[in-house]
Amino acid sequence: MSNNSIISIRSLEKTFPSNDGLVRAVNKIDLEIARNEFVVLLGPSGCGKTTTLRCVAGLERPDGGSIEINGEVVNSVTSRTFVPPERRDIGMVFQSYAVWPHLNVFQNVALPLTDGRQKLPKGQVKDRVMECLRLVRLEGLETRPVTDLSGGQQQRVALARAIVTQPMVLLMDEPLSNLDARLREEMRLELKNIATTAGVTSLYVTHDQSEALSLGDKICVMNEGEILQAGSPQEVYARPPNHFVAEFVGEMNFIKGKVTGPGQVDSPLGERSYDLPPNCQVGSTVTLAIRPQYLGLAKDPDQNSQSPEGLIVSKSYLGDAVLYEVELSGVTLTVKLSGDSNFAIGQRASVNLPPEPWHIFP
Residues in contact with Mg ion by CB under 5 A are 50
Q: CA-CA distance, 220 to 213, in Å (whole number)?
A: 11
H and E: helices and strands count for the chain:
8, 21
- Provide the CA 284 distance to its chain's centre, in angstroms: 33
Say what the alpha-carbon torsion angle 342, 345, 348, 352 is, to the nearest 10 degrees: 60
Query: Residue 279 binds what, of Mg ion, ligand ADP, none (CB under 5 to 8 Å, by partner type)?
Result: none
Which distant-in-sequence residues (6+ apart) come within 8 Å of 121 by Cβ? none
Q: CA-CA distance, 311 to 261, in Å (whole number)?
A: 29
SS3 169: strand
Nearest to 10 by CA among 68, 90, 81: 68
Q: Pick from 16, 127, 134, 314 the residue near ligand ADP by CB under 6 A.
A: 16
- Mark the segment that binds ligand ADP (CB under 6 A) among 49-57, 176-184, 243-251, 271-279: 49-57
- Mark the segment that binds ligand ADP (CB under 6 A) among 47-55, 76-84, 155-163, 185-193: 47-55
- Mark the segment that binds ligand ADP (CB under 6 A) among 16-24, 133-141, 191-199, 317-325: 16-24
48 interacts with ligand ADP by CB under 6 A: yes
Query: Residue 310 binds what, of ligand ADP, Mg ion, none (CB under 5 to 8 Å, by partner type)?
Result: none
Q: Pick from 2, 4, 19, 45 the residue near ligand ADP by CB under 6 A.
A: 45
47 interacts with ligand ADP by CB under 6 A: yes
Query: Residue 25 binds what, of Mg ion, ligand ADP, none (CB under 5 to 8 Å, by partner type)?
Result: ligand ADP
Least Å distance, CB 151 to Mg ion, is 19
50 interacts with ligand ADP by CB under 6 A: yes
DSSP 179: S
Q: CA-CA distance, 154 to 97, in Å (whole number)?
A: 6
Q: Where along the sequence are the contacts to ligand ADP (CB under 6 A)?
A: 16, 18, 23, 25, 43, 45-51
